[in-house]
Amino acid sequence: MKKLNVAIIGQGRSGRDIHGFYFKSENNTLFNVKYVVDRDEERRARALEEYPGCEVFASHRELSDKKDIDLVINSTISNEHYEVARDLINAGFNVVVEKPFARTRYECDSLIRLAKDKGVTLAVFQQSFLAPFYIFAKEIMESGKIGEIRQIDITYSGFSRRWDWQTTQVKLGGNIYNTGPHPIGLALGFLDFDDETRVIYSRLDTVLSSGDSDDYAKILLTAPGKPLVDIEVSSNDAYPAAHVKFLGTKGTYKSTILEYEMKYIVDGENPERPLVIESMKDENGYPCYCSEKLITREESGSFDGDAFGVGTMRFYDMMYQKIVNGKELTVKPEHAAKIISVIETAHAQNPLPVKF
């Protein structure tokens, strides 16, 4: 198969340790890293060693006259995503933007329109949509095995503190711009990206970080006829719950990114009990609590791969098929724009003081 030439902008934790890691791995048979851009001289020197045969530049604008680039990865600092993506699209490049897509829904929509006008492909690196744990959860949800889903809990929390640029508003940092696109994206996916989805409650706060952006976030979403989704992304949870939990009318499903469990009842195995209005008594006439031992089924298992391994590989397979064969993207930029709408709303509802 023909290999596509790639340019990576940024050799930080995403550009090098996620995208670059994939491109250098044996799983990559479709892409060749032709150019690497980073303003840091040391990182450029390292790139020459890590991507044999590549050329390096200090600015993304130095790519503008390169005609042999099939795809550019925009893994710049978060507050630069919009401007750099706009420049790349205007130059006629196919572009993958790291999350967050942009600061506002307006910026997202303007990039989507620009890409269509220029006839190029624009995608956002929301690889969690291709992770085994998410795909399986969607299957469970749609199977009806645990009944109709009434509530979904999504938790991406831990107990840690940060003091880097990711904690500042000026750099578009904070938990919900940084980590939040993953759980918020899953939430919207479970709600089928319903256009009537609304943020019915949100709270942002700063608890442990050295910066002025959020490291505690609680967001509640729902849409007409859909479950309530409770999203939590906090840095002060020393006992975090499962990543995903479904509360259904017949049981419960929970999972991490690596394994799952569920307990549920099956129709007919627990016949309906007639309602007792009067105070309940035991066989001796004493008061008793209304209780029974339900007949339940239990299942558990593990997933073959995670969002960063399998999810990244599937994402770039998708990009290859789009660029080479014109196949439709399954991870759509329009969906990523809806994620930014939720983040933008939460920030509007919880303005934090800008200190830096």
**Is 114 a domain residue?**
yes
pLDDT value for 133: 97
- Mean pLDDT for the chain? 96
**Is 14 a domain residue?**
yes
Cβ proximity of 181 and 217 under 8 Å:
no
Q: Residue 167: which CATH number?
A: 3.30.360.10
Structure-token pair, residue 181: 């696109």
pLDDT value for 282: 87
Beta-ladder partners of 261: 254, 300
**Is 354 a domain residue?**
no
Q: Which of 9-23, 83-97, 268-282, 316-330 has the lowest mean pLDDT?
A: 268-282
Beta carbons within 8 Å of 149's beta carbon, 6+ residues apart: 141, 190, 227, 246, 247, 248
Residues 158 and 297 in one domain: yes
**Is 175 a domain residue?**
yes
Query: 318: domain range?
Result: 4-125+309-325
Residues 270 and 201 in one domain: yes
**Is 330 a domain residue?**
no
Residues 121 and 187 in one domain: no
Residues 210 and 171 in one domain: yes
Residues 177 and 277 in one domain: yes
Beta carbons within 8 Å of 337's beta carbon, 6+ residues apart: 101, 105, 108, 109, 112
Residues 239 and 344 in one domain: yes
pLDDT tens digits for range 217-249: 999 999 999 999 999 999 999 999 889 999 999
Residues 195 and 281 in one domain: yes
Residues 20 and 48 in one domain: yes
For residue 1, pLDDT over 90 is answered with: no
Segment 175-202 shows an average pLDDT of 97
> Global pTM?
0.95
Decide the pairing of beta strands 31-37 and 149-155.
unpaired
- State residue 238 phi and psi, 5-degree precision: -80, -10
Beta carbons within 8 Å of 26's beta carbon, 6+ residues apart: none
Beta carbons within 8 Å of 63's beta carbon, 6+ residues apart: 7, 9, 35, 37, 57, 69, 72, 88, 91, 93
Residues 113 and 139 in one domain: no
Beta-ladder partners of 4: 31
Q: Residue 83: which CATH number?
A: 3.40.50.720
Q: How many domains does the chain have?
A: 2
Residues 317 and 266 in one domain: no
pLDDT tens digits for range 331-341: 999 999 999 99
